[in-house]
Structure 1
Amino acid sequence: MGHSELPFFYLGAYWGMREQTLDDVAGDISATVRALGEAHPALRSWWWEDRAAPVDPDSQWLRDELEAARRRDGDGEPSAGDGYSVSFHNEPFPDYHSGPGSETKVKLSFFAGESGTPRLSNNCVLTLPAPKRAPQGLYDLQSLKLALHWMADIWRPDHALCVNTPLADAQGDWMKVSPQVGWITYLGPKYTDGIERAELPHGVQAAARADGALLWFPLPAADVAPRMVVDLREALVAAGCLPAGNG
């Protein structure tokens, strides 16, 4: 697939029910915003909706907005165990409410602290523009490995990955086949038992990270084919690390 045709990738970290206080969630969001800036300059500043000033991750405003969003989601009366959500974009967006905005922007979203509804997954997701529209170097493997490492280290998810739609779809319906794997994959402790005996596909590299394992294809994004991630997932299933899925 040509580089100009490559669909956008996203980095997603996912975990099950986990109670967190407002201060816990705000602190982890602050840590994430600061850490992602180490991965690439385009990830250093973030804006919320049409606010003129970038987000100060240590401000009282962030805590107020998290609480306000929780109340909006709960129709004014959030229940015990309801999570907190917020999303940012990495460019000023004065027309936020009137259009999709620039095709070069990155989106960063959070949903955390949910402990009352099993079907809801807590998550931190970094959505990138398509490679041909992305800032130079954003799709460098080392940059995205570092970004996913920080997401895993801060949030300690069950699993995380850097993937695009074709790579994900090749593995089946994500509601039936989970966790999926990607160009870069993090597996938390619940999925690493037996990983040392996994017969990983040729070239796949692995390292211990955040009490789990980080696995990656040492290739440019355009060179990672759907069959490659399917083979990686099958190897992890065979080793007993991942469930086979149910459809």
Structure 2
Amino acid sequence: MTAKAKTPPETYYAGAYWGARKESPGECARRTAGFLNLLAECDPFLAQWYKPAKSRKDARTHPLMPPDMPTLAEMFRRGVNREKGGPVFEDLGFSFWFDNGGTRRDCAALRIHCGGYAEAFSNSCFLSFPSEGANAERIFTASVLAEVVRSMVLAWDPDWCVSTSWDHRELLPDEGRTGTFVGWVTYLSRRHGEVPPLPAPVRIEPVEDKGTLIVLTPERFTVANPEHVALAHRVRELLTRAGLMQSVTP
């Protein structure tokens, strides 16, 4: 009798997204430094970051913590958008990729794209988490992911943030790839309006005067639980009806 293949556990990510916003490499560095300091308070695994290098061993000789503004600004300058050998596209902003030096399945990585101001342009800060192990188990909780999203909001002042599983995103081919949707933890900027009352067990809380954090369930959100998926769909319907599920770009 052939053994049934074990279903891999759901893995999670967090992303912040905002529209066109012209910022210099120095301004991007300032926001990144603030974000890294806030992130370090969320979990010890998110407290160490390293400059990109040819190998993980080399990377550990170039730490980014505590954040050094000139180093971060230079990394963003190097991440300017340009054609090979051609001019710089200033309106497309700057990109910077780096990680925390973990192993393949036990690693967190950050991809930041900021300073872009081209028409219908989206800036972002994207954080992928480890896929398995003790660090993943500790991070994949409503309390930690809510603090990660809160940190993104305070640092980047985005229009929308979400933290959910990759499997959940794959269930939403339209919303998940081209527009806003509701994940396990979602943030909506007050610039787009006020969040209406939502059904239990959803938790709503303000993030200073910037917007609203929405946590769907206190337990781990998973697509294996049809009630979780249905709740996310219901909440999105209510937020859409309130005019809040707007695309980040026009």
Settle same-fold status: TM greater than 0.5. Answer: yes
Q: In angstroms, what is the RMSD of aligned CA positions?
A: 2.6
Structure 1's unaligned 5+ residue stretches are 93-100
Taking the TM superposition and a 5 Å limit, the aligned residue runs for 1:17-28 are 17-28=20-31
Taking the TM superposition and a 5 Å limit, the aligned residue runs for 1:103-142 are 103-118=105-120, 120-132=121-133, 134-142=135-143
Q: Spell out structure 1 runs of 4+ moving beyond 6 A.
A: none
Residue 53 of structure 2 is aligned to residue 44 of structure 1? no
Which residue type is aligned with residue 187 of structure 1?
A: L
In 2, distance between residues paired with 1:216 and 1:175? 18
> Cα–Cα, structure 1 residues 109 and 243, in superposed 2: closer, same or farther, change >3 Å?
closer
> Cα–Cα, structure 1 residues 175 and 9, in superposed 2: closer, same or farther, change >3 Å?
closer
> What is the match of residue 165 of structure 1?
166
Which residue type is aligned with residue 201 of structure 2?
A: G
Deviations 1:129-171 (A, max 9, x none): 2255644521122111111001011111110010123322334
Give the deviation of 1:121 after TM superposition. 1.3
> Cα–Cα, structure 1 residues 117 and 10, in superposed 2: closer, same or farther, change >3 Å?
same
In 2, distance between residues paired with 1:172 and 1:106? 25
> What is the match of residue 220 of structure 1?
220
SS at match of 1:125: strand
> Cα–Cα, structure 1 residues 107 and 205, in superposed 2: closer, same or farther, change >3 Å?
same
Indicate conservation of the 8 Å contact 1:111/1:123, yes or no: yes
SS at match of 2:79: helix
Taking the TM superposition and a 5 Å limit, the aligned residue runs for 1:1-247 are 5-50=8-53, 51=59, 52-56=61-65, 57-70=67-80, 75=85, 77-91=87-101, 102-118=104-120, 120-132=121-133, 134-174=135-175, 178-193=179-194, 195-196=195-196, 198=197, 200-210=198-208, 211-217=210-216, 218-222=218-222, 225-242=228-245
The worse-fitting range, judged by mean Cα deviation, of 148-157 and 229-238 is 229-238
> Cα–Cα, structure 1 residues 59 and 20, in superposed 2: closer, same or farther, change >3 Å?
closer
> Cα–Cα, structure 1 residues 175 and 166, in superposed 2: closer, same or farther, change >3 Å?
closer
In 2, distance between residues paired with 1:72 and 1:240? 37
In 2, distance between residues paired with 1:104 and 1:202? 34
Structure 2's unaligned 5+ residue stretches are 1-5, 54-58
- Count residues in correspondence: 230
In 2, distance between residues paired with 1:133 and 1:90? 16
Give the alignment's TM-score, normalised by structure 1.
0.83
Deviations 1:181-210 (A, max 9, x none): 1000000123333x23x4x23210101114
Deviations 1:69-128 (A, max 9, x none): 216567552133231110111116xxxxxxxx511101111000000242x310001111
